[in-house]
Structure formats: structure tokens, C-alpha cells
Amino acid sequence: MMEKVQLVGAGPGDPDLITVKGLRAIQEAEVILYDRLISPELLDDAKPGAELIFCGKLPDHHHLQQETINYLLVKHAKAGKRVVRLKGGDPFVFGRGGEEAAFLAEHGVPFEIIPGITSGIAAPAYAGIPVTHRDHSASFAIVTGHRREGEKEDQKWAALANGIDTLAIYMGVKNLPYIQQRLIENGKSPQTPAALVHWGTTKAQRTVTGTLATIADIAQAEGVTNPSMIVIGEVVRLREKLRWFNEWEAETVLAVGAGQ
């Protein structure tokens, strides 16, 4: 009997943010195909003998091509194995979960989606930034930082600049100067507060803040790289009052570890 493949959201980095259902799937799996940004601690919960297959992706370098990942999901499922595809954040938020689910459906393999907490909400929360607030933000958008030129893109930038209170931008550090330029030229105030949350929800979390006009220069000066969540909106002002996660302690732990 063919088992259903479970596409599991591992959450944003803190292993404690995995859902109960997601953790159960990991514990029962015979094959786990996992991404780069999941917490390695989650794999400690895999049962003895489970096959662990790394599918991590770096910018411009994929350990396994997406076509290979799709093939392996179908292959192991049709061999009667309990297969988990463990993805950072949520499978359907910039995780190609929709593509993998479609491939499984096309090949007659049953599947189940187990949602996870996405970093566009969790990373700001750990930095003391609510993406919505009654006084500051009635709307927020989850946006990819990989954007291209074109007429349709121009329309999207105009909508993002003028129609959304809070922007949570994934995978955008490399394109931050371009993002900054397009938002400003489409009417977003250069003085709009902005933040970058690096390795959000993990012990390595670090947050830098500025304005839309200054955040690209600050990111470069501070050496902020991916993975980082970009947050743009008035809600960033609340960080000073709502910050609760001890980033200083986390940075101290890392510095001590580096010296050992």
C-alpha cells in the first residue's frame, strides 16, 4: 500500500516552533528529505534507521535540483515508504510546496500538507515587531525579494508602495537597494521605518533598524546577509517597546563559541 507523502513546515528556525502534527510526522517517517534552513535538532527526533536526504539550496547553488527532489519523493512513496518533505517555514510560502504537491498528484501519489509557522510573521515577532497593529497597520504583505523589471512588476511595486501598511520581504538582502529604489519612486516615504532580522527565531538572531532610505546602507555597513527578513512599515517603531528576545545574549554565546 502506498503511503501518503507529508509536506511538513518546519517553522522559522527555533525547533520548538514545530507543530505537534509536524513533529509526529518526523518521528514516524522512514525517509526525510530536508532543506538547509530547518533546525538540525528536528532530525534528532527521526526514528533510528530513517533515511535522511539533504536537499538544501543556497543562492545560485542547489545541492539537489528540484526535478531530482520531485523524483525522489515519488520513488520512495511508490516503494511503500513513509516520506516526509521537511521544509523551512511553511511549505506553501515561497517553499515550492505547491510545485511538489502538483508533481505528486500528477504521478498518482497521495499527499498531505502540514503547515508551518512562516518567518515573515515569526522573525518580526521575535524582534518585537508585530506585522499588524490597530494603530499602525491594518494590512501586511508577504513578498519575495526576487523581483524583475517589466510593466506588470511596475504595477506591483506601485501597489506595494501605496496599498500595504507592512511589507515582509523574503530573500531580499541582495536586492535591497533595488527594492528600496522601487518603493520610494512609487511613493513610499523614505522615512518609513525598516528592519532586517537575521536568522530570526534562532540563537544567532540579530536585528538592525533604520528607514527605507537608509536600510540598504546600514545592512552593508553591518554585514547583514541572508537569511534575513526585511520588514518595512510603521510597526517597526514598536520594536523599542516590545523587544523581548535577548539578542545580546545570543550574540555573546556565538562570540564565546567562536573563540573556543
Would you say 109 and 77 are in contact if contact means Cβ atoms under 8 Å apart?
yes
| Residues that are catalytic | 35, 57, 171
CA atoms of 96 and 9, how far apart (whole Å): 12
Q: Please report the pLDDT score of residue 1 as a whole number.
A: 76
b/e string for 161-192 if b means 16 or more Cβ within 10 A? beebbbbbbbbbbebbeebbebbeebebeeeb
pLDDT tens digits for range 73-102: 999 999 999 999 999 999 999 999 999 999
DSSP one-letter string for 26-74: HHH-SEEEE-TTS-GGGGGGSPTT-EEEE--EETTEESS-HHHHHHHHH
pLDDT tens profile 24-67: 999 999 999 999 999 999 999 999 999 999 997 655 555 689 99
Contact 197, 124 (CB under 8 A): yes
**pLDDT band, residue 153 (cuts 50/70/90):** confident
Query: Looking at residue 151, what is its pLDDT?
Result: 57
pLDDT tens digits for range 104-129: 999 999 999 999 999 999 999 999 99
Pairing of strands 193-198, 206-211: antiparallel
User: What is the spatial distance between Cα 241 and Cα 199, in angstroms, rounded to a whole number?
Assistant: 21
pLDDT in tens, 169-208: 999 999 999 999 999 999 999 999 999 999 999 999 999 9
